[in-house]
Amino acid sequence: MTPTSQQLHDWDKHYVWHAFTQMACYEPLIIESAEGCELIDTEGRRLIDGVSSMWCNVHGHRHPTIDAAIQTQLGKVAHVTNLGCSNSTTIQLAKRLAELTPADLDHVFFCSDGASALEVAIKLAFQYWHQCKNPKPQKTSYIGFEDAYHGDTIGTISVGGVDRFNAVFQPLMFPVHRLPIPDRRVPNKETSCQHHLQMLEETLAKHHESIAAVVIEPLVLGAAGMIMQPAGYLRGVRDLTQKYDVLMIADEVAVGMGRTGTMFGCQQEDVVPDILCLGKGLSGGYLPMSAAIATTEIWNAYLGDFAAAKQLCHGHTFGGNPLSAAAAMATLDVFEQEDTLAQLPAKIQRIAQHLSRLAEHPHVGDARQYGMIAAVELVKNHETGEHFPWTERHGHQVCQYALQHGLWIRPLGDVIVIMPPLAVSMEQIDTMCEVIARAVDHVTLSKASRP
């Protein structure tokens, strides 16, 4: 017997423990189906998917090419372990990623999600220094950044820097060198960039002999509130890591797969990291899949005879899953077939036009964008930048208004995230941004929000 909407509502609240959610306050939104860039809930409401189902959907839901690839793979095999075994679809995906990524990022370790890929990268960097040509086993620490987010495993929260997520777990975390990151919102952007690169160089000059890697979200810090780095900062980080013989791990779980306008965010500043981590959009947002992609130099450090015991002792049951690999292969096919990247500049410009108007709102402190990633930051006072009390949840209120007007978005505190599928239409962009503008008006200009 098919459960009613009310039954699903009740069961969702009682049985399902939702991520980053205070379950005592949770009110269900239950999606029954989807089509293109729209979600359809159990009541039949159609909602524009304004955050790509948590930043992962690329070409829209139920894309016929991706659907067909998964169905074809189901007719072959659904899962094969990659421990001492392989699968033709997964092999072809690894080769294709090696060809697509820059320089000699040719060696792909498949995982199930972004945090898993970063956990692998942290281990890869640590073990590399123990068994490379010129071993430096004292390199056991990392540089991470304030407000960075790399996942929720013990390793990734250690290199991450979002205190509100991590504070309770401090006793479990290993120490890192943590630095602030420049913010494109500050008045003197160039000065800020150089200042922060100087801070990084001072840390590297003092501690490089013990630092295995710098872990960074290229261009945009996602969970921090879509904080955009100034031009040249990423390039500067790469130059400094090379100067001081420290590896660079690029967390492109959120910014990869076309989000910045190029396939990989690092390409915006001609940067080749030592390890590139992908996730979210790698399978088009269809199935769990991520990857840590390493250079040949790192790969070679793990080669040897059996007695040398140089292999990476790490693995995931579903790493390299054929169904996920089929979805990823089809996702890459669609990029080519629909010339997705070439369609983005016009969409990026359309979002920018809407943001320029929103930026003048008396309760918008900043409207920022990098490619198809955008954010609107709500403030109590536009002139001073004073924020609303966080307990008033203005961002949540804006998203609730949007939900009632055909748009699904999710805030980061009082930052409204705009990150639709790359396949979003111009009309959907207009609708999405217009709803957000009305929502900001409704919430911030109401009598309850006035001083």
What's the number of CA atoms in the CB half-sphere (13 Å) around residue 76?
A: 17
Please give the Cα distance from 81 to 122 (Å, whole number). Answer: 23
Please give the Cα distance from 394 to 330 (Å, whole number). Answer: 39
Tallying the residues shown for the chain, one arrives at 451
Please give the Cα distance from 292 to 322 (Å, whole number). Answer: 17
Encoding tokens for residue 185? Answer: 């919102």
CB 164: neighbour CB atoms within 10 A? 10
Instruction: For residue 378, give the nearest of 447, 442, 440, 439 by alpha carbon.
Output: 440
Please give the Cα distance from 278 to 116 (Å, whole number). Answer: 10
Q: Which residue has the tokens 């991450």?
A: 160
Instruction: For residue 66, give the nearest of 281, 261, 262, 341 by alpha carbon.
Output: 281
Encoding tokens for residue 228? Answer: 């955009």
Torsion of Cα atoms, 329 then 332 then 333 then 338, to 10°? 160
CB 326: neighbour CB atoms within 10 A? 28
153 assigned binding-site residue: no
C-alpha distances out from residue 132 to 218, 301, 411, Å? 26, 5, 44
Q: Per DSSP, which regions of 167-325 are E strands? A: 177-179, 211-216, 220-221, 227-228, 247-251, 275-278, 290-295
Identify the DSSP state of 3.
P
Helix boundaries (H) for 244-386:
296-300, 322-337, 340-358
What burial class does residue 54 get, using C-beta atoms within 10 Å of its C-beta: 0-12 exposed, 13-18 middle, 19+ buried? middle
280 assigned binding-site residue: yes
Where on the phi/psi map is residue 219: left (φ > 0), alpha (ψ -120 to 50), or beta?
A: left
Please give the Cα distance from 217 to 375 (Å, whole number). Answer: 17
Please give the Cα distance from 343 to 198 (Å, whole number). Answer: 38
149 assigned binding-site residue: yes
107 assigned binding-site residue: no
2 assigned binding-site residue: no
317 assigned binding-site residue: yes
405 assigned binding-site residue: no
Binding residues: 114-115, 149, 251, 280, 315-317, 410
Binding residues for pyridoxal 5'-phosphate: 114-115, 251, 316-317
Binding residues for substrate: 149, 280, 315, 410
